[in-house]
Amino acid sequence: MGKNSKLKQEQVTDTRSLVDLVFSWSIRDILNDNLYRNQTIPNTFVTLTSYKKSFIPSLVEEAHADLLSNMLTLSHAPTCEILTIEDSAGPPGDLFYDKTSVMRITKD
């Protein structure tokens, strides 16, 4: 992702745009251990807004690291058969779903 990831990262201004950024990552982006490594927070800030925005890269890096960690352990997770998925009555545009599933615990 490279330059696009930096551009997208700078566009994160609220929870919705963070969700949009995470869902924009491809599997290759998720498995790229160095996608958001070594983000730095400056020592000084001109405004309160620049101070608040300085934490966005660390938040994105942490979200990426958590998703990567979970993807790497996914093969050891129990399986679950999803029988139905329907839109929930939540607010429009939000990711709320009602699902019916059957859990099958398998041993490695």
* pLDDT value at 5 more than 90: no
Mean pLDDT across the stretch 73-84?
Answer: 78
Q: What is the pLDDT of residues 12-27, one digit of tens each?
A: 766 668 888 888 999 9
Predicted pLDDT at 3: 46
Predicted pLDDT at 84: 79
Q: How far apart are CA 5 and CA 24, in angstroms?
A: 9
Query: 9: closest CA among 71, 63, 85?
Result: 63
* pLDDT value at 81 more than 60: yes
pTM, whole model, 2 decimals?
0.60
